[in-house]
Amino acid sequence: MSRLSGQNLPNAPVASIDVQAIQHNLNLARACAPASKVLAMVKANAYGHGVAGLAGRLQGIDGYGVARVEEGLQLRALGVAKPIVVLQGFIDGAELDACVAAELTPALHSDYQLRLLESHNAATLPVWLKVDTGMHRLGFAPPTLPALLANGRLNVACIVTHLANAGEPQHDQNQRQLDSFLQLTANTHLPRSMANSGAILALPMSHFEWIRPGIMLYGSSPGDQPDPNLRSAMTLTAPVIAVKSLVAGQAIGYGGSWTAPGPTRVAIVGIGYADGYPREIPAQMPVWVAGRRCPIVGRVSMDSIMVELGQLDVEPPARVELWGKNLPVDEVAQLLGSIGYTLMSRLTSRVQREYLH
């Protein structure tokens, strides 16, 4: 059955997930903020790590954080009974009804959501009230908060805000947002939540009653420097499906954008942009093959890339590492001018996930 459904067939990219590494990173988040509850951020399919494979496998989580109602419903369907906070809240009455039915806790950030709560007689639903302390993305403006808290018509389980610059702990705006949040919440006894990964690791004053670790759980750094205390959880590999011998002057791939400078061997590797591997890579982007780094050459195709082996002896179905234990995802991201979040979260469903314990 599993072979028929495509599981574990060798010609597939595989993201191997080290569950112990995620547990280690989760324990680190707890140790940084021992008095706080942990809302584990598992939106975007657990940042590409596969929410179905992780749900129920980790200890020490007090609740789960997702972006959208649909992601919350998926978690409930997987049997998750803990609180689930939907950080974008509901967008219409149907989504609000779904929150009520599945006991999801939406974040409220806009007036239209208050009107929906009233018109659906759902005011008793526990909500997280989101206040905009300076990121100017989602959240009520600070002057409106006292009235929202005083009107008694909302069942506020937590007041939440989000930092715009947590990845840069020294950034001035962190302190400004913190001061604003402290002032706004000074007269309430409600739980508060501010810290994502960067703030959990570097801004203890921001921890409050709930922390919301995301990227750090998966072992990628929230800032520009790798964090030696985090353990990388994902290793992405794909198979060599063919090896070509080229002579000087032969061009390879779409547009013939790379030409062999001399006799060389090139591996065709079964992963492409339809799997989520970025098409926009710089020249010489490395992959890890048979214990060393080799460059990707030519254009990334939908289902394959080409890797110059030189005279390295590699044959199908040897596996190539795109990032992971030997090639840090943060390094690959930096070469791309991007961040680990994007690489991991955009892996598509064609990439199989396997869980190592």
Instruction: Compare residues 235 and 345 and give the one whose CB is closer to ligand PLP.
Output: 345
> Which of 173, 83, 90 minimizes the C-alpha distance to 130?
90
Q: Which residue is nearest to ligand PLP (CB)?
A: 214
Instruction: Compare residues 192 and 299 and give the one whose CB is closer to ligand PLP.
Output: 192
Distance CA 204, CA 33 (A): 7
Told to judge if 254 belongs to the known catalytic residues of this protein, a careful annotator would answer yes
**Number of other CB atoms surrounding residue 121 within 10 Å:** 9
User: What would you measure as the largest C-alpha separation in the chain, in angstroms?
Assistant: 77
Do 183 and 159 meet the contact criterion of CB atoms below 8 Å apart? no
Q: Point out which residues pair with 245 in neighbouring strands.
A: 265
CB of 233 to ligand PLP, least distance (A): 13
What are the tokens at 73?
Answer: 């419903």
Binding stretches for ligand PLP (CB under 6 A): 41, 87, 162, 196-198, 212-216, 222
Instruction: Compare residues 65 and 239 and give the one whose CB is closer to ligand PLP.
Output: 65
**Residue labelled with tokens 């939406």:** 106
Instruction: Compare residues 197 and 206 and give the one whose CB is closer to ligand PLP.
Output: 197
CB of 255 to ligand PLP, least distance (A): 36
CB of 286 to ligand PLP, least distance (A): 25
What are the tokens at 305?
Answer: 């890339």
> Which of 182, 314, 312, 174 minimizes the C-alpha distance to 240?
314
Told to judge if 43 belongs to the known catalytic residues of this protein, a careful annotator would answer yes
CB of 216 to ligand PLP, least distance (A): 6
Helix (H, G, I), strand (E, B) or coil at 65: strand
- Options 43, 47, 64, 218, the catalytic residue: 43
Q: Which residues are catalytic?
A: 43, 254
